[in-house]
Amino acid sequence: MKEITPHYFVVTVGTTGDLHPFMCIAQGLQKIGRKVTFITHAYYEKIVHGAGLPFVGIGTDEEFLSVLRNPEIWDPQKGFAALLANYSTGLNQILDAIQSASADAPQVVIAHPFAVPGAVIARDLGYVKSVVAAYLAPSNLRTCHDPLNIGALPVPRWVPMSWRRALWRFVENGWIDPVAVAQLNAVRTAHGLSKVHTFLTHIADAPDLSVTLFPSWFAHAVPDWPRPLIEGDFQLFEAATQYGFSAELSAFLATGDKPLVFTPGTGNLHAAEFFTCAISAINELGCRAIFLTKERAQIPASLPQSVLWQSYVPLSALLPHAAALVHHGGIGTTAEALRSGIPQLLTPFAWDQFDNGARVAVLGVGVVIPAKKLRPRNLTKALQKIISSEKVRAQCELQASRFMSSYDPIVLCSEVDQLLLAS
């Protein structure tokens, strides 16, 4: 009797940093002959279709953009509440999208952590067979083990395990569960399902399988990460052959030294101070720079000839032409800088960015200045340090060498597929 292969729903939410790795997974599944349906914000329909992926959109463009327009999503303490202000609506949209794409074959959801609770509801209602949680960054997985960074707070290694557990309970009780649990339970009880008690525990324990989308050399597995667990690798967006440089950008790159590249991330519309500091540092250093942001209004209206603004350029194509990268610390941007072998200066705003920055510093390829502490003077000094340091340059080359053997997402997809088929 012929074995029925699964139909995969790949579900993600967030900015393009959350989108691209899941698109890599979806394309890998297609290459091993699996049917795939990609579910994310309707805002990304053109990008997803352009990647050759069947698409089901959730929400409206205005709903998506209204979240990005809220400056509190980049506040380390207010961000969670701001992002999940309408979480129950998002869960219902994910559930509806899964139902609308139902098929006769067994169905598997590979989900972003914030989408996991919706996927679990679909599984509990019998719409899908299995749920796989895919973690983009180490801090997406709660742990009490070192290195431990809870938001902007680095927890010293001497802090005992009992205190670490208590700290997590404080964070969950004070910031996370009051926002997320009531909304999640409203959706679950409406479908006759039992209530959950803690949000992060539910995300960790409910999936049938967990997968890391970063390598063990960046963050090794620790004992309290969920099991079963597959340790994967960075899923990097290969755009160099898909996008040509504009004539303006090509001319800029050809007429001087390698520039610094500054970006606060594709989703940050509130980074005016970041770019103001950048202008001062560039003037002091006498170097050239490229500013990357879709929101032109957050950079000065008049730029010196040494600075070029671009709405968007794929980092995989641009960074080989750069001297260093100054960025927010998103995991995708961090990985691209590691692959390109250039120094990094991270200015974390919120979310996983503080933990990513701490790991970059340990690797010796860059330094960290939290966004709230960024000033022209400390930015200038830090840039001088990392650009001129032979030690940093050597470490950048060492880490870039880890990418020499191209990682194929098919390897990860095949491992996930075989494990699920065997279960």
pLDDT, tens digit, 9 for 90 and up, residues 84-119? 999 999 999 999 999 888 777 779 999 999 999 999
Give the integer Cα–Cα distance in Å for 119 and 135.
Answer: 15
Q: Is the C-alpha dihedral spanning 241, 245, 250, 252 positive or negative?
A: negative
> What strands lie across the sheet with 324-327, from one edge to the other?
307-310, 289-292, 260-263, 324-327, 344-346, 366-368
Helical spans, DSSP H, in 51-86: 61-68, 79-83
- 256, two tokens: 């001087």
pLDDT confidence band for 404 (50 / 70 / 90): confident
Residue 408: per-residue pLDDT: 78
SS3 308: strand
Domain coordinates in residue numbering, the chain: 7-234+407-422, 247-401
pLDDT confidence band for 330 (50 / 70 / 90): very high
pLDDT confidence band for 76 (50 / 70 / 90): confident
Helical spans, DSSP H, in 176-218: 177-190, 199-205
In this prediction, residues 173-191 reach a mean pLDDT of: 96
Residue 405: per-residue pLDDT: 67
* pTM of the predicted model as reported, rounded to 2 decimal places: 0.95
Give the integer Cα–Cα distance in Å for 337 and 218.
Answer: 13
pLDDT at 407 over 80: no
CATH classification (class only), 247-401: alpha beta
7-234+407-422 and 247-401: same fold?
yes
Residue 92: per-residue pLDDT: 97
Closest to 10 measured CA to CA, from 47, 44, 35, 43: 35
pLDDT at 201 over 60: yes
pLDDT at 241 over 80: no
CB of 411 within 8 A of CB of 237? no
Closest to 133 measured CA to CA, from 146, 123, 148, 144: 123
- Return the DSSP state at 327: E
| 356 CB burial (10 A radius; 0-12, 13-18, 19+) | buried
How many other C-beta atoms are found inside a 10 Å radius of the C-beta of residue 382? 20
Give the integer Cα–Cα distance in Å for 379 and 374.
Answer: 7
CATH fold group of domain 7-234+407-422: Rossmann fold (3.40.50)
Residue 423: per-residue pLDDT: 75
| 301 CB burial (10 A radius; 0-12, 13-18, 19+) | exposed
Residue 242: per-residue pLDDT: 46
- 185, two tokens: 């339970």
Collect all residues with Cβ–Cβ distance below 8 Å to 51 and sequence separation of at least 6.
23, 26, 27
pLDDT confidence band for 406 (50 / 70 / 90): low
